[in-house]
Amino acid sequence: MKKLINLTQEVKTLLTTRPALRDNNRKLCVAIWKKEMRVKQLSEDFAYEYQRGALSCADNITRCARRVKEENAELRGYNHTSNKIKEQVAKKMFRKK
């Protein structure tokens, strides 16, 4: 549980300091993994380190990102706003029928 709390804090920090990561979970995962590899001084073999569990799971990173964005509306990216606008347009279209 402590590992997820730390991961959540790290995700929040990255989303705050690097807005470009807000709309791209792949970039967010890579940023987390690069930092973990540097801090833990792991080998450059990503596949080996990921397979043995030395790096955070991509599912956990994206799950933490969703939670952070849910709790902090200012950390949601452009895609969230764009999707909400599209949702409103679609609702209006379907109501008319």
Token pair, residue 63, equals 């799950």
Instruction: State percent of the chain over pLDDT 90.
Output: 62
Mean pLDDT along residues 79-93: 71
Amino acid identity for residue 54 in this structure = A
Residues 6+ apart with CB under 8 A from 46: 33, 37, 55
Query: Model confidence over 1-31: pLDDT tens digits?
Result: 557 779 999 999 999 999 999 999 999 999 9
Domain ranges in the chain are 2-96
> Greater confidence, 3 or 48?
48
Q: CA-to-CA distance for 92 and 78, rounded, in angstroms?
A: 22
Token pair, residue 69, equals 């964005």
Q: What is the pLDDT of residue 61?
A: 95
